[in-house]
Homo-oligomer: A and B are copies of this chain.
Amino acid sequence: MAGASDNKVFRATTTAPVNIAVIKYWGKRDPSLNLPTNSSLSVTLSQKSLRTLTTASAAATYPAADELILNGKPQEIQSSKRTLACLANLRAHRQAVEDADSSLPKLSALPLRIVSENNFPTAAGLASSAAGFAALVRAVADLYELPQSPRELSRIARQGSGSACRSLMGGYVAWRAGELADGSDSLAEEVAPASHWPEMRALVLVVSADKKDVPSTEGMQTTVATSNLFETRAKTVVPERMAAIETAIQSRDFPAFAEITMRDSNGFHATCLDSWPPIFYMNDVSRAAVRLVHDINRVVGQTVCAYTFDAGPNAVIYYLEKDTELVAGTIKAILGASAEGWDGPFNEPLKNVSAGVALDKLDSRAVEGIKDGVSRVILTGVGEGPISVDEHLVSETGDIISQ
């Protein structure tokens, strides 16, 4: 009964990027569908630095239950409603494709084996779920040869992890909150491609990989339910900022982009502090980074860098390539040889750079705080969306290949 084609392993592999929001997603209006209380906007970071690599494969010879292996560890896929929701959606789309063309292999009926690996430094404390779900959705969509656009696929990825929808595109990406109860209008869309403003750089100061005080999903529920200030943020402040930062991106106005980015990060953490019980993600080292950024801008006499903090103490500092010496050069001089991570694809302009700002002109508390509290950096910049690759994590015979 078993022919040669019954043994065939169908495969597709993609990489997907991390994104760092400049207008923050915090708060769900529908927790099960991951529908947000407000729109958000992020910069997709280059996959030369950070990426998830995912192979989706399907074969009749696989065990009946879908499998998911992350960084070498099999996952309890049946207990992850979010993963199940993504896979069910993708299968339904494949089913529609198969229904329309009966000559196509019936992949929707085959068990899946999905293998995924991150290249993030273990100690980076970076949220990997966005890149992870984006890669999963993109890889399975490629395996299934789905006709859906990234925008349409973002609806599926959103259900895996809200911010994952923004990792399906490169450059500058907005996630429109939408208004419909079923979430069908809650989608990501490209505001501008990376090529529109390719000079954007991001320097991640890795502050701590300590376990978070409060996981994001729980934290945002607490904020929505208890913060007296949150509604003002979601209903009034963020919509104004979304419009303003899109204008700043379109006109490549870094000072405007930077101020909105910093203010939105501060406002987001303010609503965390205003929650009950209060939620703290930033610590004294984070605050030293805030001080340092304001101080570099003060000394330079214009806004050349901007900080933003997700639900953790790491600082992400945006700046433009032309200001590498002033920003990254100054921070490299502060950290000296004590911090790892300066090598890598964006290292070139830093090789022989000196501090663009004399350290003795800067607030000594900020300088000392950074020096003592940051042991690793990630130097990167704006980048592309998911990329199809031939470097599979599953062999032609269905075996898992470890990288």
Contact = CB atoms under 8 A, between A and B. Distances in A.
A362 B284 CA distance: 22
Contacts of A262: 276, 278
A232 to B, nearest CB: 4
A274 B270 contact: yes
Nearest to A363: B213
Contacts of A267: 228-229, 274
A266 interface: yes
Interface string A277-303: 110100110010010001000000000
Contacts of A127: none
A210 to B, nearest CB: 9
A91 interface: no
Contacts of A276: 259, 262-263, 266
Contact of A273 (B273, B277, B283): B273
Contacts of A233: 228-229
A236 interface: yes
Interface string A66-90: 0000000000000000000000000
A271 interface: yes
Nearest to A232: B232
A166 interface: no
Interface in A218-268: 228-229, 231-233, 236-237, 259, 262-263, 266-267
A321 to B, nearest CB: 25
A273 B269 contact: yes
Per assembly, the copies of the chain total: 2
A77 to B, nearest CB: 34
Nearest to A285: B284
B278 A266 contact: yes
Contact of A283 (B274, B275, B287): B287
Contacts of A229: 229, 232-233, 237, 267, 270-271, 274
A275 B266 CA distance: 8
Contacts of A271: 229, 270
Nearest to A365: B210
A200 B247 CA distance: 54
Contacts of A232: 228-229, 231-232
Nearest to A263: B276
Contacts of A228: 232-233, 236-237, 263, 267
Contacts of A270: 229, 270-271, 273-274
A211 to B, nearest CB: 11
A277 B278 CA distance: 22
Nearest to A267: B274
Which residue among A229, A276, A283, A284 has the maximum number of chain B CB atoms within 10 Å of its CB? A229
Contacts of A283: 284, 287
A269 B284 CA distance: 15
Contacts of A275: 266
16 contacts: A228-B233, A228-B263, A228-B267, A229-B233, A229-B237, A229-B274, A262-B278, A263-B274, A263-B276, A266-B274, A266-B276, A267-B274, A269-B273, A270-B271, A277-B294, A283-B287
Interface of A: 228-229, 231-233, 236-237, 259, 262-263, 266-267, 269-271, 273-278, 280, 283-284, 287, 290, 294
Given A228-B236, A283-B284, A284-B284, 4 more contacts: A259-B276, A273-B273, A278-B290, A280-B287
| 6 smallest beta-carbon distances between A and B, as pairs | A270-B274, A270-B270, A229-B229, A270-B273, A232-B232, A284-B284
